[in-house]
A and B are shown apart, each in its own frame.
Chain A
Amino acid sequence: MKKRDAISALRARRLFLRRIGGAALAAGTPAVVQKAAAESFPTPGYDWTKRRWAFGVDATKCIGCLRCVEACKVENEVPLTAHHFRTWVERYVYLEGENRPRIDSHADPVNIAASGSEREYRFANRYQDAKVEKAFFVPKLCNQCEHPPCVQVCPVGATYKAKDGVVLIDHKYCIGCRYCVQACPYGARYFDEEKGVSDKCTWCYHRITRGLQPACVEACPVGARVFGDRNDRQSPISLFIRNNRVHVLKPETGNAPNVFYVGLDKEVN
């Protein structure tokens, strides 16, 4: 009996505190802001328990045009530098007589010099005089891991895994310690110095929850990027995973990524 009394007292206290909090919020915040906050995120009507998003990359199709990178930068207001990316493309080039590939990305100083600006991306034709044995591109992005180490290490729970599988960041709660940046083995996270918070790819969460494709998928001219709902057996991603022998990056970490690759080479990590 005593225990029940204590519990109900606790409940009453919590309710009271919640009411006070609500009243304080109502008093201090204009109605417009409250309405916007209630409706902006997550997308109204979107049920994250119904979806299981996944991403596919067919590296054999990528031509390194970097439209995906540009689309992502614009869509997600990623700082326009050569050091902050939600998605990027890597180039692997095997030259004749060499055992290891030469690897670079569009962020490499040589490639930035070729484009003439940190805001525009292209791969410089740096191997035109060499004998290339094998070469390919590999797009990279956040793997939205099943067991995300970034979520594990966040000291305040500002980054979390949504029910639909996407790892999100609450920018209003992030303290900017950058432990998540350190914990990600894929280098998928960066720190936004102006906002003072960590950031990374969310598969364009604001788009996919409205039934749209991520910006990079939409911008890709060759269909190297595939996105969809694994709960739907006929979705592009379900077909991609079912019809191909797929691979994930750094499987030994136990993170269980949700970006599935086709056409990887042993040197890609």
Chain B
Amino acid sequence: MEPFIHYAPYTGWVYPNETVIEWSVAIVVYPYITGLVAGAFTVSSLYQVFGFERLKPVAHLALLTSLCFMLFVPLPLLLHLGHPERAFNNLLTPHWTSAMAMFGYFASFYIVLLLLETWFAFRPHIVGEAQKRKGLSGAFYRALTLGSYDVSEPALRHDRKWIFWLAIAGIPGAHGLHGYVGFVFGSLKSREWWSSDLMPLVFLFSAIISGVALLIVLYVVSSKLRKTPIDLACIKGLAYTVWAFIMVAFLLEGLEFANIVYKAREGIEMILAYVTGPLLIPYFVLQFGVGSILPLLLLSYMIWRGTTGRALIVGVTLSACLVLLSVFMMRWNVVIGGQELSKTGRGLLSYPLQVFGKEGLISALWLVVAPLIVLLGVTRLFPPWEHKTAP
């Protein structure tokens, strides 16, 4: 059996209480899946609000992906809390000066919004199934109609209007939810690695690219599984989206690091020793090199050469996988990296990643995989491949 508490080995000078790294891999996964929610919703909104017709084949998949991941967003936090049974105190008696106090409201608002938008988007399907099916599954769909069976053109026009406005409300909702996550870290003055005005934006743009990248992978994999042709225009549209946003994300992350180095405040020696030592591979190689620069170059090359067909699909999917890795590494390097750098500015800790336990590696993997399993089930009930509501 593993010991109850795991202490972090360290070098140099660290405060005695710092030898327990309090925010674990669960807190790495939390902004990661929140980012996937925001990014997937961005894709949905690009089609619903901004009329990016190319993204139509993934618009409903994006909505369902966002919803399925959103359902799991509170879970890493609940696993982390010392008293999860008191989690609702956050909603009942929020402390307004705390960035974290906003979480419950942002999350609740956003879940409701996603449920509503999904309901409107899938209403024709729900009504169709309710009328067609018998037994338990029929009852399920009939309950979901909420008594509304009207799928006439005026009714659908009304639905589209709702979808449009919900998508508009969702843009600040999704991005506020994720910008706030960045603020949770960036607003702390106790750690030089976190304390940055750019942090909310860094989180936001990396969230967008991770969500779009996830959709690329999901779309390609689902099309392969369903043995349906992949819409190249859609893949290209998603590739352009990643390409545009990855540049901003990369620039912001680079600027943030440059600021820390250039300002060279107290503790900079330790930060430099850290990024050129233990963080060399996670930060420079994986997050920047393999995860950002490589996909950026790959996508740029394909756009420049006008690559199409199978090569485009393989190239874009590969880039998307790299982006997903990069964003995970970014979350890791912020959350764990920030704590591995001692508040004294004179010591380095080493996070003892656990395999088992509620905040261990297996739990973290489950937290990422579980929304995908739920998504698989949800796509059976509400196939996002049909677009009856689309004009």
Contact = CB atoms under 8 A, between A and B. Distances in A.
Interface of A: 81-85, 88, 103-107, 140, 149, 151-158, 173-179, 181-191, 193, 195-198, 253-254, 269
Sorted nearest first, the 3 A-B pairs with minimum C-beta distance are: A176-B82, A187-B15, A196-B82
Interface string B223-234: 000000000000
B17 A154 contact: no
A155 B90 contact: yes
Contacts of B13: 103-104
A253 B93 contact: no
Nearest to B77: A177
B191 interface: yes
A238 B97 CA distance: 32
20 contacts: A81-B5, A83-B20, A84-B20, A85-B16, A85-B17, A103-B346, A105-B16, A153-B188, A155-B100, A156-B101, A175-B87, A178-B82, A182-B339, A183-B190, A186-B15, A187-B14, A187-B17, A193-B4, A196-B81, A254-B189
Interface in B318-350: 339, 343-346
A190 B83 contact: no
Q: Which of B7, B93, B188 has the most A CB atoms < 10 Å from its CB?
A: B188
A215 B78 CA distance: 36
B95 interface: yes
Contacts of B184: 179
B22 A269 contact: no
A88 B344 CA distance: 14
Task: Pick the most buried of B7, B16, B22, B84: most chain A CB atoms within 10 A of its CB.
Answer: B16
Contact of B189 (A156, A185, A198): A185
A154 B98 contact: yes
B54 interface: no
Interface string B12-38: 011111111011000000000000000
A183 B343 CA distance: 10
A1 to B, nearest CB: 32
A176 B89 CA distance: 11
Interface of B: 4-5, 7, 13-20, 22-23, 77, 80-84, 86-87, 89-90, 93-95, 97-101, 103, 184, 188-191, 266, 339, 343-346
Contact of B22 (A103, A181, A197): A181
A173 B98 contact: no
Contacts of A177: 77, 80-82, 100
Considering residues A82, A173, A185, which has the most beta carbons from chain B within 10 angstroms of its beta carbon?
A: A185
A185 B343 contact: yes
A227 B241 CA distance: 61
A178 B23 contact: yes
A168 B62 CA distance: 46
Nearest to B19: A83
Given A149-B190, A155-B98, A178-B22, A196 B83 contact: yes
Contact of B90 (A82, A156, A188, A193): A156
Given A149-B188, A253-B189, A269 B80 contact: no
B83 A176 contact: yes
Contacts of A158: 89
A83 B343 contact: no
Contacts of B99: 153
Given A175-B86, A181-B22, A188 B17 contact: yes
B23 A182 contact: yes
Contacts of B15: 88, 105, 140, 186-187
B93 A157 contact: yes
B90 A149 contact: no
Nearest to B80: A177
A83 B23 contact: no
Given A84-B17, A187-B16, A193-B4, A155 B95 contact: yes
Contacts of B19: 82-83, 107
Contacts of B83: 174-176, 196-197
B188 A182 contact: yes
A155 B16 contact: no
A82 B23 CA distance: 19
A249 to B, nearest CB: 11
